[in-house]
Amino acid sequence: MPNITVTVSDDVYRTARIRAAERGSSVSGLVAEYLRSLAERDDDFARLEAQQHRAQSEIARFSARERLARNELHARALR
């Protein structure tokens, strides 16, 4: 497993140690957890992007001729 060196101020390091202790972890563990969450977000982004493309492809079949008349639209809103 590769090692990473990060330089932070004393205040940041002290706060990170406190947060890590509160979670029963180490600063290294917190950093590893954060980096894993970044990788998961990329997976989520790809999944959401694919979902968006599927939805947009369905919208492409929309026809403006099928729109509701103004009075029909207002009648629906009142239901």
Residue 14 in domain? yes
Predicted local confidence at residue 61, as pLDDT? 65
The DSSP code for 20 is H
Residues contacting residue 19 through CB under 8 Å, at least 6 positions apart: 30
Please tell me the total count of domains within the chain: 1
Residue 59 above 80 pLDDT?
no
Predicted local confidence at residue 25, as pLDDT? 95
What is the torsional sign of CA 26, 29, 31, 37?
Answer: negative
Average pLDDT of the segment spanning 13-25: 95
Question: Is residue 60 within 8 Å of residue 53, measured between CB atoms?
Answer: no
Which residue range forms the structural domain that includes residue 19?
A: 10-78
Residue 2 in domain? no
pTM of the model: 0.51
Question: pLDDT tens for residues 23-58?
Answer: 999 999 999 998 888 877 777 788 888 888 888 887
